[in-house]
Structure 1
Amino acid sequence: MLSDTKIKSLKPAEKIYRVLDSMGLCIEVRPNGRKYWRYRYQWEKKSTTLGLGEYPNVLLAEARKKRDDAKTLILSGVNPLSEKKSKENTEKITTFKSIAQEYRDEHLKNKSERYINQFNTSMQKDVYKVIGDKDIRTVTSADILLILKNTTKRVKRQKNYGTGESTALQNKQFIGAVIRYAIMTLRTEYDPTQAVTGVIKRPPIEHARPLTKEEKKQVRTNLENYNGTETVRNAGMILLYAMLRTIEIRRLLWEWVDFQEKTITFPKNAMKKNRIHILPMSSQVYEVLQRQHKISNNREFVFPAVYKSVGMLSASTLNRMLEYVGLNNVSAHDFRATASTSLYEKGYEEAWVERQLAHAESNKTKASYDHSKHLQQRRKMMQDWADIVDGWRDL
């Protein structure tokens, strides 16, 4: 059997040699003088060698314990070498970024494309910069707090994107989900996001409001005289006429537009409520889209990016357009609020208005089949609304 004194006295030779300790444990001496522990055992009638570490990082007593642990695994029907490789692979995949990507691929595959994009954007813009390369076991509450503060600062620098609290809280939610996944898969033990709960407060909701008489005249007149690109002006006109959200206008594809039927059919994955939405075209919407069709030059998006060869019109471009026409304090939601108020005043049924706004239906099963309900009535309603908008020029 070996002793520490004997191990220290072992000198290197021209070739590797091994000196036995006991029960399959030996020490391997290499020509460069380095010494490694090896454990030889039988697995499925084959001789197998398991490395147990380098001497003196692993001393004799610890090497014997590792040998005994390996023997226990063998008696329980587990190959120590396979167990070691599995453990090493698990330990390699412990950076926050690697686990976040694993979580996304495993747990978000049934989520909408929009949700997955939100997760990816959160990680790329705010999270990975701080903790992406950190071992997830070393991520602290201070790291999370730094991410939240950086997020609010970033969003505040972007005009018309709010004060950042909502984005910061969403980042916290995503980080917490990744860490809890790591806890479930035994790669960390605690969730540091819990300690910063309540540090960032969600801002009060600013409810949409109808436009004033002055704002109505201003937007209709100034937008008609807008001297920016025609694509942006046309997108702005659709914003007025169609009661759509800005994201729905920006992601609008030509394949959804049916000029013959004079309808636009948004698929489920394009809508906030994840269900089909049909927009009957008013004559004004039809004319705007006809003009835009000539401009877009066979590109995929109805309103493509102005200065890029691919992609949709950016949200910031539409925001700058509203600033240009003098509506710094008006949002796209305010146009939708104005439309619903006007149409209710004209006596249109609530169900028609809410359906055209693509609001939630309490009966989700019913809603999934009712996207074309009252289409003719809604077509007249949308024409009335477009005529009301055009009438703002004379206010």
Structure 2
Amino acid sequence: MTFVVKVGKVPVYFPALKNLTTFRGFPMLSDMKCKNAKPKKKAYKLTDSHGLFLHVMPGGAKTWRYRYRFKKKPQTLTLGRYPAVSLKEARQKRDDARLLLDKGKDPGLEKKRQEAVAAIEKSFYSIACEWHELKKDQWTPEHAEAVINSLSRDVFPHIGPFDVDDIKPSQVLSVLRSIEKRGALEQARKILQRISSVFRYAIQTGRADYNPAQDMRGALKPRQVKHMPALPEKDLPEFFERLDNAKFLHITTRLCLRFLLFTVCRSGEVRG
């Protein structure tokens, strides 16, 4: 902890004495006093020094607050709950606020600004853009553009501004339902995969504890399978002749098609 003495208009900072127990003739707080502070019928405060005090509520909650003036107007800054924030930590927070005042900044506004920045960094939109930036070099430019466009169109308007810790499975399902309503069932599945990937990245980077998209597959509408007509045996000679003459296809593609017909393998096995 530090104390400030102004020499003229110049603030001079020096460490507080460890055994200092009074301030301007009044006793300062100790850990024992804070711990033993009992609730009363009305809220009251225990004063420390330089505007710091412990606010004790009738329900027993104890909160550190710092009273200061900015542009001649009285202000109060909440520094945290006791005992989660100790007396030593509260004094340090108070001193940090005083440094801001000496720089002409309002500690209360600075705290709100920092909280706003932190909230933006934990929004689904911010993390999704960060995830996309990390992954796009692994994709083709066309696919990378398709991914971010799909998120911008179908996801960000619904859950983009929300903190990832506040997004519930029902909100994710609502996003998917809006896509299903226009008949884009396959797109709904792709969007689910991308939302889930963003949440996994948020968990890996310490900004989320749970993936609300992980148990959503059973809730999606079943994919409509369209069976293609089979090629009659009598048409095979003509097919092979046309395949051999299809010079617009690479020789490897034509050979793979022949291999598929002769072995009845899956196309994925042939590609592998």
Partner of 2:212: 192
Which of 172, 187, 194 pairs up with 1:174?
194
1:343 matched to 2:232? no
- CA 361–112 in structure 1, closer or farther in 2 if over 3 Å, else same: farther
What TM-score do you get using the length of structure 2 for normalisation? Answer: 0.53
CA–CA distance in structure 2, aligned partners of residues 357 and 200 of structure 1: 35
CA–CA distance in structure 2, aligned partners of residues 70 and 206 of structure 1: 68
How many residue pairs were aligned?
188
Give the CA deviation at 1:144.
1.1
- 1:44-59 equivalences in 2 (<5 Å): 54-55=77-78, 58=80
Which of 135, 143, 167 pairs up with 2:171?
143
Partner of 2:89: 67
Bigger RCO of structures 1 and 2 (CA < 8 A, at least 6 apart): 1
- Aligned 8 A contact 2:128 2:198 in 1: yes
Give the CA deviation at 1:5.
3.8
Give the CA deviation at 1:29.
2.2
- CA 32–96 in structure 1, closer or farther in 2 if over 3 Å, else same: same
CA–CA distance in structure 1, aligned partners of residues 164 and 138 of structure 2: 25
Partner of 1:29: 68
Partner of 1:92: 120
- Please give the secondary structure, in 2, of the residue aligned with 1:29: strand
- Aligned 8 A contact 2:256 2:270 in 1: no
- CA 108–19 in structure 1, closer or farther in 2 if over 3 Å, else same: same
- Aligned 8 A contact 1:165 1:203 in 2: yes
- Please give the secondary structure, in 2, of the residue aligned with 1:168: helix
- CA 179–146 in structure 1, closer or farther in 2 if over 3 Å, else same: same
CA–CA distance in structure 1, aligned partners of residues 237 and 74 of structure 2: 86
What amino acid sits opposite 2:73 in the alignment? Answer: N
What amino acid sits opposite 1:184 in the alignment? Answer: Q
What amino acid sits opposite 1:177 in the alignment? Answer: S
- Aligned 8 A contact 1:343 1:353 in 2: no
CA–CA distance in structure 1, aligned partners of residues 52 and 126 of structure 2: 41
- CA 195–32 in structure 1, closer or farther in 2 if over 3 Å, else same: same
- Please give the secondary structure, in 1, of the residue aligned with 2:132: helix
Give the CA deviation at 1:109.
2.1
Residues 229-253 of structure 1 deviation map (CA, whole Å, 9 limit, x = unaligned):
xxxxxxxxxxxxxxxxxxxxxxxxx
- CA 63–347 in structure 1, closer or farther in 2 if over 3 Å, else same: closer
More strand by percentage:
2
CA–CA distance in structure 2, aligned partners of residues 188 and 206 of structure 1: 39
RMSD over equivalenced CA pairs, Å: 4.5
More helix by percentage:
1
1:354 matched to 2:253? yes
CA–CA distance in structure 1, aligned partners of residues 91 and 52 of structure 2: 18
- Please give the secondary structure, in 2, of the residue aligned with 1:143: helix
- Please give the secondary structure, in 1, of the residue aligned with 2:145: helix
- Aligned 8 A contact 1:19 1:28 in 2: yes
Partner of 1:118: 146
Gaps of 5+ in 2: 1-27, 34-43, 54-63, 94-110, 258-266
What amino acid sits opposite 1:171 in the alignment? Answer: I
CA–CA distance in structure 1, aligned partners of residues 142 and 91 of structure 2: 49
- Please give the secondary structure, in 2, of the residue aligned with 1:195: coil
CA–CA distance in structure 1, aligned partners of residues 66 and 114 of structure 2: 24
- Aligned 8 A contact 2:244 2:254 in 1: no
* Percentage of matched positions with identical amino acids: 22
Residues 103-160 of structure 1 deviation map (CA, whole Å, 9 limit, x = unaligned):
0001232211222122122212211121011111111111111111100112x3xxxx
- Aligned 8 A contact 2:119 2:163 in 1: no
What amino acid sits opposite 1:101 in the alignment? Answer: C
What amino acid sits opposite 2:239 in the alignment? Answer: L
What TM-score do you get using the length of structure 1 for normalisation? Answer: 0.38
Partner of 1:203: 223
Which of 98, 104, 129 pairs up with 2:132?
104
CA–CA distance in structure 2, aligned partners of residues 179 and 99 of structure 1: 8
Residues 182-229 of structure 1 deviation map (CA, whole Å, 9 limit, x = unaligned):
011111110111232221144244254489xxxxxxxxxxxxxxxxxx
